[in-house]
Amino acid sequence: MAFELPSLPYPDTALEPNYSAKTFSFHHGKHHKAYVDNLNKLIAGSELEGKTLEQIILATANDPSKIGVFNNAAQVWNHTFFWNCMKPAGGGKPSGALASAIDAAFGGYDKFVEQFKAAAVGRFGSGWAWLVLENGALKIVSTPNGETPMTKGQKALLTVDVWEHAYYLDYQNRRPDFVQTFLDHLVNWDFVAQNFEKAK
Ligand code: MN3
């Protein structure tokens, strides 16, 4: 059973003007699809064929001889997760137990925003910023390239893709503006809260 490119959880125009259909046509239609296609080619006929995406990621992490498989598998997972971290008319403050946990961990939503933006904007080159749960504690981390928190025992709750391909068509070089818009208008806090409940 080969992996398939998952459909976006909303129409490709649903996040405009904050995230355009044109960006989705490349980011989902070309980049994400290429990771899926590459992964299928790399695992065909190997002992990894038939395993779940998570099993492949964990089996190939930190194995230099499997770096190509790892990068593509992790990027398939990261992108599918990222699409679900956004929704139309999203962003702003979370609510409920998640909001309380964020307040306790970071000293309030504004402090969370400050740290999340610093992680996203400060990631040199390509990568991701994340809100994760590790040993019951909320943390903000960033990963380079295709790396993904599950390989460090961290459970992903929220991510933003800060590879240039994620924002260049809409924001050009203005990564800070993209991250601010992501926080203000795109974050799907319902999805993040579900991840938090499952991870606790
Ligand atoms: Mn990307």
From ligand 1's centre to the CA of 93, what distance in Å?
A: 25
Its CATH class, for the domain covering 96-199, is alpha beta
The whole-model pTM stands at 0.97
21-84 belongs to which homologous superfamily? Fe,Mn superoxide dismutase (SOD) domain (1.10.287.990)
Band (157; pLDDT cuts 50, 70, 90) = very high
Residues with CB in 5 Å of ion ligand 1: 161, 163, 166
pLDDT at 140: 98
Helix (H, G, I), strand (E, B) or coil at 16: coil
From ligand 1's centre to the CA of 23, what distance in Å?
A: 10
Give yes or no for residue 1 having a pLDDT over 80. no
Residue ranges, comma separated, of all CATH 3.55.40.20 domains in the chain are: 96-199
pLDDT at 90: 98
From ligand 1's centre to the CA of 100, what distance in Å?
A: 30
From ligand 1's centre to the CA of 123, what distance in Å?
A: 14
Q: For residues 115 and 24, what is the distance between their CA atoms, to the nearest angstrom?
A: 27
Q: For residues 169 and 44, what is the distance between their CA atoms, to the nearest angstrom?
A: 34
From ligand 1's centre to the CA of 193, what distance in Å?
A: 23
Give yes or no for residue 151 having a pLDDT over 80. yes
From ligand 1's centre to the CA of 31, what distance in Å?
A: 7
Residue ranges, comma separated, of all CATH 1.10.287.990 domains in the chain are: 21-84
pLDDT at 3: 98
Instruction: List, for residues 43-93, the tens digit of each pLDDT value.
Output: 999 999 999 999 999 999 999 999 999 999 999 999 999 999 999 999 999
